[in-house]
Amino acid sequence: MAEALNEKIAAVTGAASGIGLAATQALLAEGARVVMVDRDETALAEQVSRLGDRAIAQVTDLLDPESCKSMVPEILEKVDHIDILHCNAGTYIGGDLDETDPDTIDRMLNLNVNAVMKNVHGVIPHMKSRKTGDIWVTCSVAGHSAIPWEPVYSGSKWAMTCFVQTMRRQLREHGIRVGQVSPGPVVSALLADWPEENLRKAKENGSLIDPGEVADALIFALSRRRNVTIRDMVVLPTNFDI
């Protein structure tokens, strides 16, 4: 049985594009207010202007330690509470490990892993005090299967799968649900870093999904009654062969 998300307050990272924007639009359609978190101030302003007054801009650079640490306090200066935190921002590295460089690896792990852990760490005291909340992470099918052409990315998403499972157990007694949505290839800017041959094949055989499909899965999970936690949702293109 579904519960209404009307008047809930959500914070979504990486909200100016891709899955984050689709999630924002889906939450708004359900009657929620959404704090859109992104480092791209211009894109954020454009989307907030387009989406209306229930969309609220929060400029945060998750790769900047001070900006990342300030995210939750700054959000709570704009809204009086956070019902939903969707940790969605991320980046991608594909190819053999020796084809990349240490700085690029650091950047990806800082965004895909460290920032998520810091954001969750920042919101826990607030949600514990309210004895309720939902924390959702955008993971990947790469967090459930070892993808040979993306060892760094896949490694970061396996870390998130473990993190979600451990945090669900830590926080369930406080009324806080924790889960993840793990999409296969999604039509987004991240695919620009895919190996060209893999991307060509995916386009030709229909092995891509739209960000809105991921957002639909998120809404399904968030709208379950509080005695139900959807911990893992893997959303794949039907023709994706993993």
Q: Is residue 241 part of a domain?
A: no
Q: Is residue 216 part of a domain?
A: yes
pTM, to two decimals: 0.92
Q: Coil, strand, or helix at residue 105?
A: helix
pLDDT for 185 = 82
Into how many domains does the chain fold? 1
Q: Is residue 2 part of a domain?
A: no
Helix residue ranges per DSSP H, the chain: 18-29, 41-51, 65-78, 102-109, 115-130, 151-171, 196-205, 211-222
Query: Which residue, 136, 113, 117, is CA-closest to 217?
Result: 136
Q: Is residue 64 part of a domain?
A: yes
The amino acid sitting at 55 is A
Q: Is residue 126 part of a domain?
A: yes
Question: Is there a contact between 135 and 178 (Cβ–Cβ < 8 Å)?
Answer: yes
pLDDT for 209 = 84
Q: Is residue 38 part of a domain?
A: yes
pLDDT for 237 = 86
Range of the domain at 151: 9-234
Q: Which residues pair with 235 in a beta bridge?
A: 183
pLDDT for 77 = 98
Instruction: Give helix 65-78 / helix 115-130 axis angle, nearest 10°.
Output: 30
Is 170 exposed, middle or buried, given 0-12, 13-18 or 19+ CB atoms closer than 10 A?
A: exposed
Instruction: Give helix 18-29 / helix 211-222 axis angle, nearest 10°.
Output: 50
Residues with catalytic function: 153
Q: Which residues pair with 59 in a beta bridge?
A: 38
Q: Is residue 163 part of a domain?
A: yes
Tell me the CATH number at 134.
Answer: 3.40.50.720
Q: pLDDT tens for the chain, 242 residues: list them.
A: 577 899 999 999 999 999 999 999 999 999 999 999 999 999 999 999 999 999 999 999 999 999 999 999 999 999 999 999 999 999 998 889 999 999 999 999 999 999 999 999 999 999 999 999 999 999 999 999 988 888 999 999 999 999 999 999 999 999 999 999 999 888 766 555 666 666 666 666 667 888 999 999 999 999 999 999 999 999 988 877 66
User: Buried b vs exposed e over 113-145: b needs ≥16 C-beta within 10 Å?
Assistant: bbbbebbbebbbebbeeeeebbbbbbbbbbbbe
Q: Is residue 239 part of a domain?
A: no
CA distance 36 to 51: 11
Q: How far is CA 211 from CA 19, 88, 187, 208, 218, in A?
A: 5, 12, 7, 10, 11
